[in-house]
Structure 1
Amino acid sequence: MNGNWLLPDYLADILPAQARQIEDLRRKLLDLFRTFGFETVSPPMLEYIESLLTGAGKDLSLKTFKLVDQLSGRTLGLRADMTPQITRIDAHLLNRPGVTRLCYCGPVLHARPAGLVASREQLQIGAEVYGHAGIEADLEIIRLAIESLKLAGVSNGQLVLCHDGLVQAIINSDPAAQARADEIVALLRDKDLPGIASLRDDGMGGPSVSEPVVAALELLPRLYGGAEVLERAASLSVFKGVSAALESLKTLVTKLAGEKISLDLADVGAYGYHSGVTFSIYASDWHDALVRGGRYDNVGAAFGRARAATGFSMDLIRLARSFGQAEPAAAILAPSSGADDQALTQLVAQLRADGEIVVQLLPGESVAHDEFIFDRELARDGQQWVVRPVNTTAKPNSNSNS
């Protein structure tokens, strides 16, 4: 059997109706970002692997397709996340003093799917603020993320806040915990309490973690809920840096009053990458976060300029699934034009310039569009071409596979 039409696992074509929805949303979101003062950049799909993975951790490396550049012989990567590229642009190309706001939208590819229902190709859109270390930048980014989901029609978003500085403060207090940092972060993400308890034993996993650190780590997965979580977390302030992290979260909860907010102090990002407030936005009927973001200060140091930075990203293809079936657009059907029928050609051009959809049939063409419903047509009225309504009770020959 010829399988030339088959695609690799976890990849799919996007057909006209959904493609239109995705493109409409892309334009609206980039316009929204612009109203906040963000400038759009567009980095290349391919870069040297060292640049793509700078400061990004092991997770991103496993997701990145790698290949050899036939021109230089060096290893290239197909981007799996655009944030390192935006950081490179800010640090090395723009190199502006003060605050820089950048946004982007483009495809990313994953060598491995993130889950059973995840695609290996995403259309990633996001925004980043560089050059401001204060909570005000985190607040701006979170508000923009919330507005983005509302614009996309997701009005029931649940904002979940965390602070990676809190987790780092606990881990950094014990050399044994530092040696097992990646393992600890994975256990916290999974809220694996037995696994956290096993850190007391050296066994095959590495050196034994001290009792105070394990006890603190065991508390984190239980610190989930409303603002009262911050009071319950106060006992962790014995670790240097925890008080400042809790104060930042308290400020955000106060400033974002009116939004649906919860705290999950075990919802950590990548250890050594995120450095402060992190957040996710969930919604009903979705199994995973629609938006993820947070602070990642000093990642730009590898590009020659350490900068405070915070941002978020989301997948437009995944988000567009919430729209349901797209309704066909109203359009005008025009007959084929003869070489000498300038009047018809001019009218079609004028209607299109006015924003109308005009499908002009080619000789012998039958109507075969799922995206349009022809409620008007061009027809002769004496010596003139006019637009007139047609019967819309039935959509003509709408089977696009015919």
Structure 2
Amino acid sequence: MALPRWALPEHFEDVLPQSAARIERLRRLLLDEFRLHGYQLVIPPSVEFLDSLASGTGADMADAMYKFVDQYSGRTMALRADTTPQVTRIDAHLLNRSGVTRLCYCGPVVHVEPRSMSASREPLQVGAELYGHAGIEADVEVLRLLARTLQLAGTRSSRIDVGHVGIFRALSAMAGLGGEAERTLFRILQAKDVPALKDFVAGLAEPARSALMILPELYGNANVLVRARSLLPDVAGVREALDQMLHLAKHLGEQPLSFDLADLRGYHYHSGLMFAAYCGNSPTALALGGRYDAVGAAFGRPRPATGFSLDLRELAALSVTAGEAGAILAPQEEDPALQDCIAALRAAGEVVMLALPGHRGCWREAGCDRQIIKQDNAWGVVPLQD
């Protein structure tokens, strides 16, 4: 049976007026907040050459992109599945600033497969990226901005999980792993598959064997970092990672931070701290972020970088902020006093809708909950009469 012409592909959807208004209010609110923190808005194109979109942070998203051949150049192009590689390209190649650069963005991305059964294949991605500062101060700033983002949306995070790819890389190097062996270890740790991990590390030398075996158990509050110091080898990569996470625990004590030393999402491009924010009982992360130094090398200029992104549609759906008042219905009259009343209401931010002739009893459907009527020779606003 053929689908009707109005049907959409699975996991794509129209955003109807009420939801669209909520999303747009939140978009303006967040971008204005980012601007107050010095983050400048950029708007990259939705389509680029594949080799650009699949570089750096986009490497893990290559299979998620829709690809096609550009009829102008003959090269393979793709719809972006993540905006971060594009913002990195702008920082490295177009702006080319010597100091710190703060950039933000908001726009749709498209995925071949949804992230979860309830997710859209066209997320509206919003995010902020900080380039040019390698110190922990940048990570603290970005995490605070993420927390502020969730606060403005009325969706305070239930927890922010923090990991650090430096621990995995230091222990992997200590064990002499590389290539496919390292990728296998990554998959095992991501799955928290303890029996498979036990088999994998059986032939490794100490102390790498014991350290890798204990990683899945090292999660919880800041106390787990103290425990990790006593259980993991005191080598540069491990020591630096634990120092940075302890710094976050000290300076972001007001945030619901938890630490997971076996959380390795995006380890192919992340170079340090990684974090994921969760809200309520959702099993999937609402926001993802972390440090990805040197990713700009693909565009000719490696730079320290850290940032976060999230799906504005998903955020708006979870938002508990109050909605706007309904519109005001105005009669079709040329009375100058009425026109002055309408102009004053619109200047105050009210939506005023003219009642076109021939339509009765349908204005609530259009969003009206009040109307302008004339009483005692003066125009005023009253509840909409059914």
**Fold match, TM over 0.5?**
yes
> How far apart are the structure 1 equivalents of 2:219 and 2:38?
34
| Residue 143 (structure 2) aligns with | 142
8 Å CA contact 1:331–1:357 kept in 2: the answer is: yes
Q: Does 1:376 align with 2:371?
A: yes
| CA displacement at 1:291 relative to structure 2 | 1.4
Matched, 1:351 2:350: no
| 2:160 is the counterpart of 1:162 | no
Contact 1:171 1:178 (C-alpha < 8 Å) held by counterparts:
no
SS in 1 for 2:68: strand
The residue type paired with residue 128 of structure 1 is: E
What is the CA distance between 1:280 and its match in structure 2? 1.3
Distance (whole Å) between structure 1 residues aligned to residue 304 and residue 161 of structure 2: 22
Q: Quote the offset at 1:105 in angstroms.
A: 0.7
- For residues 384 and 70 of structure 2, the distance between their equivalents in structure 1, rounded to whole angstroms, comes to 58
Aligned with residue 314 of structure 1, among 310, 313, 316: 310
Deviation at 1:260, TM superposition (A): 1.7
Partner Cα distance (1:355, 1:391) in 2: 19
- Counterpart CA distance in 1 for 2:253 and 2:201 is 40
Q: How many angstroms does 1:107 deviate by? A: 0.7
Q: Distance in 2 between matches of 1:210 and 1:9?
A: 50
CA–CA separation in structure 1 for the residues paired with 2:266 and 2:106? 22
C-alpha displacement of 1:13: 1.6
CA distance in 1, matches of 2:90, 2:280: 36
* SS in structure 1 of the partner of residue 326 of structure 2: strand
Corresponding residue for 1:110? Answer: 111
Q: SS of the residue aligned with 2:56?
A: coil
Name the amino acid aligned to 1:216. Answer: A
Q: Give the letter for the 1:362 counterpart.
A: L
Q: Which runs of 5+ in 2 are unaligned?
A: none
Unmatched segments (≥5 aa) in structure 1? 202-207, 397-402
Pick closer, same or farther for the CA change 1:69–1:368 going to 2, 3 Å.
farther
Residues 197 and 213 in structure 2, CA contact (< 8 A), matched pair in contact too: yes
Matched, 1:303 2:304: no
Partner Cα separation in structure 2 for residue 371 and residue 100 of structure 1: 44
Contact 1:333 1:378 in 2 (8 A): no
Contact 2:278 2:286 in 1 (8 A): yes
Q: CA contact under 8 A between 1:17 and 1:371: conserved in structure 2?
A: no
Residue 328 of structure 1: how far off its partner (Å): 6.3
> Could you say which residue in structure 2 is the equivalent of 1:255?
251
Q: Which residue of 2 aligns with 1:195?
A: 196
Q: Hey, what's the Cα distance between the residues in 2 that align with 1:51 and 1:355? A: 43
Task: Name the amino acid aligned to 1:186.
Answer: R
Deviates more, 1:323-332 or 1:79-88: 323-332
Q: Is the 8 A contact 2:66 2:111 kept in 1?
A: yes
- Which position in structure 2 is the counterpart of 1:62? 63
Structure 2: how far apart are the matches of 1:328 and 1:104?
25
Query: Aligned to 1:237, what secondary structure does the other structure show?
Result: coil
The Cα of 1:95 is off from its aligned counterpart by 0.5
Aligned counterpart, 2:221: 226
Q: Distance in 1 between matches of 2:21 and 2:205?
A: 55
| Cα distance in 1 for residues equivalent to 2:10 and 2:52 | 28
Q: Distance in 2 between matches of 1:49 and 1:210?
A: 41
3-state DSSP of counterpart to 1:7 = coil
Identical positions, percent: 46
* TM-score relative to the length of structure 1: 0.88
Q: CA deviation at 1:344?
A: 4.8
Q: CA RMSD in A?
A: 2.4
The answer to whether structure 1 residue 288 and structure 2 residue 284 are counterparts is yes
Q: Is the 8 A contact 1:149 1:157 kept in 2?
A: no
| Equivalent AA in structure 2 for residue 246 of structure 1 | L
CA gap 1:364/1:370 in 2 versus in 1, 3 angstroms: closer
Asked whether the equivalents of residues 329 and 372 of structure 1 are also in contact (C-alpha less than 8 Å), the reply is: no
TM-score (norm 2): 0.91
The Cα of 1:309 is off from its aligned counterpart by 0.3
Amino acid at match of 1:281: A
Counterpart position of 2:380: 387
1-side partners of 2:168 and 2:217: how far apart?
14
1:219 maps to amino acid: I
